Structure 1
Amino acid sequence: MDGCDRTISLKDDDSGDHDQDQGTPKDSETERTEDEDQSLSKKKMVVPAAGEHPLQYNYTFWYSRRTPGRPASTQSYEQNIKQIGSFASVEQFWRFYSHMIRPGDLTGHSDFHIFKEGIKPMWEDDANKMGGKWIIRLRKGLASRCWENLILAMLGEQFMVGEEICGAVVSVRFQEDIISIWNKTASDQSTTARIRDTLRRVLNLPPNTIMEYKTHTDSIKYSMGRLPWTGEC
Structure 2
Amino acid sequence: MASTLTGPALTASRNALSAAMADHPDIEEDSKESGEVQEVNMESQAESIRTVFSDPTNFNVKHPLYSSWTLWFDSPATKGRNLPQTPVSAFPPTPVAQTPGPAAAQGWMEDIKRVISFDSVEEFWGLYNNIVPPSQLPQKANYYLFKEGIIPAWEDEANKNGGKWSIQLPKDKNRGNVDKMWLYTMLAAIGETFDPSLTTADPSSPTPASLITGVIVSTRPQFYRLSIWTRLAPGVSATEEGGLKERIEGVGRHFKYSVLGYPENAKLAGPLATEVEFLSHKDSEKKKGAKKITV
TM-score between both structures, scaled by the size of structure 1: 0.68
Distance 1:186 1:50, change over 3 A: farther
What residue number does 1:64 align with?
74
> Per residue, is there more strand in 1 or in 2?
1
Residue 138 (structure 1) aligned with residue 173 (structure 2): no
Larger mean Cα displacement after TM superposition, 124-133 or 139-148:
139-148
What residue number does 1:191 align with?
247
Is contact 1:161–1:191 with CA below 8 Å preserved after alignment?
no
**Which of 122, 125, 145 lines up with 2:153 in the alignment?**
122
Task: Encode CA deviations 1:184-226: one digit per residue, 9 max, x unaligned.
Answer: 110121111110111012110241121111111122455xxxx
State the SS of the aligned residue for 1:125: coil
Aligned residue runs from structure 1 range 42-53, under 5 A? 51-53=61-63
Letter in 2 for 1:202: V
**Which of 70, 90, 97 lines up with 2:128 in the alignment?**
97
What residue number does 1:168 align with?
215
CA-based RMSD of the aligned residues comes to: 2.0
State the SS of the aligned residue for 2:253: helix
Q: Distance in 2 between matches of 1:218 and 1:149?
A: 28
Q: Distance in 2 between matches of 1:194 and 1:98?
A: 30
State the SS of the aligned residue for 2:75: strand
Q: CA deviation at 1:66?
A: 3.0
Task: Encode CA deviations 1:36-67: one digit per residue, 9 max, x unaligned.
Answer: xxxxxxxxxxxxx9510000000000001138
State the SS of the aligned residue for 1:109: coil
**Which of 49, 57, 64 lines up with 1:54 in the alignment?**
64
What are structure 1's unaligned runs of at least 5 residues?
Answer: 1-48, 68-72, 223-233
Distance 1:161 1:181, change over 3 A: farther
Distance 1:74 1:118, change over 3 A: closer
> Which 4+ stretches in 1 moved above 2 angstroms?
73-76, 219-222
**Which of 208, 212, 227 lines up with 2:267 in the alignment?**
208
Letter in 2 for 1:217: K
Q: CA deviation at 1:122?
A: 0.2
Identity of aligned residues (%): 36
State the SS of the aligned residue for 1:135: strand
Q: Distance in 1 between matches of 2:120 and 2:60?
A: 10
Q: CA deviation at 1:172?
A: 0.5
Q: CA deviation at 1:183?
A: 0.7
Q: CA deviation at 1:177?
A: 0.5
Distance 1:161 1:214, change over 3 A: farther
Letter in 2 for 1:169: I
Letter in 2 for 1:180: S
Q: Distance in 2 between matches of 1:51 and 1:117?
A: 22
What residue number does 1:151 align with?
186
Q: 1 or 2 for the larger relative contact order (CA 8 Å, sep ≥6)?
A: 1
What are structure 2's unaligned runs of at least 5 residues?
Answer: 1-58, 78-103, 199-209, 235-243, 269-274, 288-295
Letter in 1 for 2:149: G
How many residue pairs end up in the alignment? 170
TM-score between both structures, scaled by the size of structure 2: 0.55
